[in-house]
Chains A and B, each alone.
Chain A
């Protein structure tokens, strides 16, 4: 469902060209579990941002479900993000003044989902992620693990087909990190495509497909038969 064809991305810094991605070709199917690993500065985040339509490639073609999304305008891309893509960030990115419940509700609200439908879905998510008794707490009243659970609940509230996680355990201790990864992995069982950027080889090796990047290129693609 995700097809990258000869994707390149370079940045202009001053009068210098920095190439973050070189000629990437990649196919990811529905329900795939892909981890992306590699040294710092190898282009992992840049790749994830491109897949998430937060960024545009300098050249190449990107297709989702067979449709070319590189040519879409900003508004159309926003719609694709809203309907098909969920993000989980290293630093959670919760809106500080909003309660856990309202943070989870945010994508539904932005998409204009009806209130009673919204409420039902949010309550269900709060229950699934064990946040019911924390629903009215603001992010600064939550632990790191709880925050990331809120972020995952938010990322899945629109039932996206692709979940993009950029070092989701980077700010968490090992046990909490495991829990978070477990939650994400459970989603793949519901046919959600999970793309996970991580520095932790132990976590990365749990994925069915493991991408190794160096210097803006995919150097190896391991298919584990787990």
Chain B
């Protein structure tokens, strides 16, 4: 029997029982569409996070005070010491490494900002000129913090776009005076509106020189040091150098944590990939269910077409050919089902992309392939039994319809 005839005969049988065929295709396509849409969502979330991270800067090494992941008890702890803080000089010392390009020390606190009668609570970031470059921020008006002595505690500040709007309306605050706590600051610049990134809204902050922030909050420690390696290849070297320099400065005490942004990113990437895989897997179960449905329906089809099978045998069809016919029917069912499902799924992805434009949804290719393979696979697997039972029928009893 020619292949094309097998396909046409199987297609004719499927057309013969339209309602049943449509239901099967529906079940299969819902399964495939679910896999496509759910993995597209997971993948979208992953890409979203990665985009957000890279908008924070590139080739970054982050330094925190304290050792977050050591479980052991160090000598410092036995003596009841709190971990030594990161100082501005620690930060400056990092520039000794040749792998390090730029650094930006970071102090953070919150304060009352006021201008005439208007005032509000605001997050104050103490940093240096390099913050702008390292964090890929962009300045709207005026100037950013001046490059120069990091220890200089000039009373100048740069406002987030929203803070400027709240205090000065549509005018620019550049050149005007504001108060942070009980100190007066001169506005030298305003940031452009960038919106939220990683839960941190740069529109609602005030940036001051790090030394000024230390005075404002009466501390000398740093919340974080942002270290930018000279290139992608020197990230690991920069991390090592930073550790060596800081441990040496802290008398060998390993009381700082140094992580590369890539490592943080990789962790998120792993978590979100696992999540995508998990939802994809759950959706794939519905495909298996559809496969079982197909098996049942094919078994019913075999019992409904016993006489036809007997006839085919009488007309000289060997068992293998009959098996092949029923097998082809099931494969056609799952094939058409997965094609329809792919179309439905991609349409769903388009709709989601319309509704949430900021989420870069797209079904990963491996999920699409897996959906097709699973649906065809279950279709094939679950049609083996019905096809075999059809082929095994005894022609005489089958013809008699018994």
Chain A interface residues (CB < 8 Å from chain B): 49, 52, 54-55, 74-75, 78-79, 81-83, 85, 87, 89, 93, 95-98, 102, 106-107, 109-112, 154, 158
Taking a contact as CB atoms under 8 Å apart, the answer to whether B399 and A54 are in contact is yes
Taking a contact as CB atoms under 8 Å apart, the answer to whether A106 and B315 are in contact is yes
Taking a contact as CB atoms under 8 Å apart, the answer to whether B2 and A112 are in contact is yes
Task: Indicate whether A83 sits within 8 Å of B314 (C-beta atoms), given known contacts A54-B395, A97-B16, A110-B1.
Answer: no
Taking a contact as CB atoms under 8 Å apart, the answer to whether A81 and B316 are in contact is yes
Chain B min CB distance to A35 (Å): 21
Question: B395: which A residues are within 8 A, CB to CB?
Answer: 54-55
Report Cα–Cα, A106/B309, bound state, in Å: 13
Chain A min CB distance to B263 (Å): 63
A99: nearest chain-B partner, CB-CB: B12
A102: nearest chain-B partner, CB-CB: B12
Report Cα–Cα, A112/B313, bound state, in Å: 15
Chain B min CB distance to A192 (Å): 16
B396 within 8 A of A: yes
Chain B interface residues (CB < 8 Å from chain A): 1-2, 5, 9, 12-13, 15-16, 307-308, 310-321, 395-396, 399
Chain B min CB distance to A52 (Å): 7
Report Cα–Cα, A74/B317, bound state, in Å: 10
Report Cα–Cα, A111/B311, bound state, in Å: 14
Taking a contact as CB atoms under 8 Å apart, the answer to whether A74 and B319 are in contact is yes
11 further interface pairs, Cβ-Cβ under 8 Å (given A54-B395, A109-B1)? A49-B396, A54-B396, A54-B399, A74-B319, A78-B319, A81-B314, A89-B399, A93-B307, A95-B308, A106-B315, A110-B316
Taking a contact as CB atoms under 8 Å apart, the answer to whether A109 and B396 are in contact is no
Report Cα–Cα, A82/B318, bound state, in Å: 9
Report Cα–Cα, A136/B384, bound state, in Å: 33
Taking a contact as CB atoms under 8 Å apart, the answer to whether A93 and B5 are in contact is no
Taking a contact as CB atoms under 8 Å apart, the answer to whether B318 and A79 are in contact is yes
Chain B min CB distance to A178 (Å): 25
Report Cα–Cα, A111/B320, bound state, in Å: 13
| 6 shortest interchain CB distances as A-B pairs | A82-B316, A97-B16, A78-B318, A81-B316, A75-B318, A54-B395
Chain B min CB distance to A57 (Å): 13
**A-B residue pairs in contact (CB < 8 Å), sample of 27:** A49-B396, A52-B314, A54-B313, A54-B395, A55-B396, A78-B313, A78-B319, A79-B318, A81-B313, A81-B314, A81-B316, A82-B315, A82-B316, A82-B317, A83-B316, A85-B316, A87-B315, A93-B314, A93-B399, A95-B308, A97-B12, A97-B15, A109-B1, A110-B1, A111-B1, A111-B316, A112-B1
Chain B min CB distance to A92 (Å): 10
Report Cα–Cα, A109/B15, bound state, in Å: 19
Report Cα–Cα, A7/B227, bound state, in Å: 97
Taking a contact as CB atoms under 8 Å apart, the answer to whether B16 and A110 are in contact is no
Question: A107: which B residues are within 8 A, CB to CB?
Answer: 315-316
Taking a contact as CB atoms under 8 Å apart, the answer to whether B399 and A110 are in contact is no
Report Cα–Cα, A16/B318, bound state, in Å: 31
Taking a contact as CB atoms under 8 Å apart, the answer to whether B319 and A75 are in contact is yes
Q: How many A-B residue pairs have CB under 8 A?
A: 69
Question: A112: which B residues are within 8 A, CB to CB?
Answer: 1-2, 5
The contact of B5 among A95, A98, A109, by CB within 8 Å, is: A109
The contact of A110 among B12, B308, B312, B396, by CB within 8 Å, is: B312
A81: nearest chain-B partner, CB-CB: B316
Chain A min CB distance to B48 (Å): 52
Question: A97: which B residues are within 8 A, CB to CB?
Answer: 12-13, 15-16
Report Cα–Cα, A158/B313, bound state, in Å: 15
Report Cα–Cα, A82/B312, bound state, in Å: 10
Question: B311: which A residues are within 8 A, CB to CB?
Answer: 93, 95
B17: nearest chain-A partner, CB-CB: A97
Report Cα–Cα, A107/B315, bound state, in Å: 6
Report Cα–Cα, A158/B317, bound state, in Å: 13
Question: B15: which A residues are within 8 A, CB to CB?
Answer: 97
Taking a contact as CB atoms under 8 Å apart, the answer to whether A109 and B318 are in contact is no
Report Cα–Cα, A193/B1, bound state, in Å: 27
A74: nearest chain-B partner, CB-CB: B319
Report Cα–Cα, A83/B316, bound state, in Å: 8
Report Cα–Cα, A112/B2, bound state, in Å: 5
Question: A81: which B residues are within 8 A, CB to CB?
Answer: 313-316
Report Cα–Cα, A102/B12, bound state, in Å: 11
Question: A55: which B residues are within 8 A, CB to CB?
Answer: 395-396
B305: nearest chain-A partner, CB-CB: A95
Taking a contact as CB atoms under 8 Å apart, the answer to whether B321 and A110 are in contact is yes
Chain A min CB distance to B309 (Å): 11
A98: nearest chain-B partner, CB-CB: B12
Question: A102: which B residues are within 8 A, CB to CB?
Answer: 12
Taking a contact as CB atoms under 8 Å apart, the answer to whether A110 and B13 are in contact is no
A94: nearest chain-B partner, CB-CB: B311
Chain A min CB distance to B151 (Å): 91
Question: B315: which A residues are within 8 A, CB to CB?
Answer: 81-82, 87, 106-107, 110, 154
Candidate in A102, A110, A111, A158 with the most chain B CB atoms within 10 angstroms: A110
Chain B min CB distance to A88 (Å): 10
Chain A min CB distance to B341 (Å): 27
Report Cα–Cα, A89/B308, bound state, in Å: 13
Report Cα–Cα, A154/B311, bound state, in Å: 11
Report Cα–Cα, A196/B20, bound state, in Å: 40
Report Cα–Cα, A106/B1, bound state, in Å: 10
Candidate in B9, B12, B315 with the most chain A CB atoms within 10 angstroms: B315
Candidate in B308, B311, B320 with the most chain A CB atoms within 10 angstroms: B311
Taking a contact as CB atoms under 8 Å apart, the answer to whether B314 and A54 are in contact is yes
B310: nearest chain-A partner, CB-CB: A93
Chain B min CB distance to A82 (Å): 2
